[in-house]
Amino acid sequence: DQQVKQNSPSLSVQEGRISILNCDYTNSMFDYFLWYKKYPAEGPTFLISISSIKDKNEDGRFTVFLNKSAKHLSLHIVPSQPGDSAVYFCAASATGTYKYIFGTGTRLKVLA
């Protein structure tokens, strides 16, 4: 039972354009969501998060949107840069658990 789903295993985007990575979840108890970026041979690093009381959180080139009714979140990267090429994981947790449920990841390739 995959509670957090990233249905696109890979995505290619031209440098300078927008990258949109999507994530869906099924558990309505989830109220905190995170995006992690992972380079080969390294552990995931935290990118951006959003609480369910908000529908948007922005940090520089990265914006996360949350649609609670659709149980969907997305990560927008604008403008995309070659250094953004990595695997992106979304994760979700419920209040008080600190237990992260991860998606399967989307491999983003930004073409120069």
Q: Which residues of this protein are in contact with another protein, per CB under 8 A?
A: 2, 4, 9, 36, 41-46, 89, 98-105
* Token pair in block for residue 89: 């994981």
Q: Which is nearer to another protein, 53 or 98 (CB)?
A: 98
Q: Which is nearer to another protein, 62 or 100 (CB)?
A: 100
Query: In whole angstroms, how close is the CB of 51 to another protein at the nearest point?
Result: 11
Distance CA 93, CA 42 (A): 23
Q: Which is nearer to another protein, 40 or 83 (CB)?
A: 40
Distance CA 83, CA 53 (A): 31
* Token pair in block for residue 107: 């491999």
Query: In whole angstroms, how close is the CB of 112 to another protein at the nearest point?
Result: 26
Q: Which is nearer to another protein, 4 or 66 (CB)?
A: 4
Distance CA 79, CA 59 (A): 13
CA 72 from chain centre, in angstroms, equals 10
Query: In whole angstroms, how close is the CB of 78 to another protein at the nearest point?
Result: 26
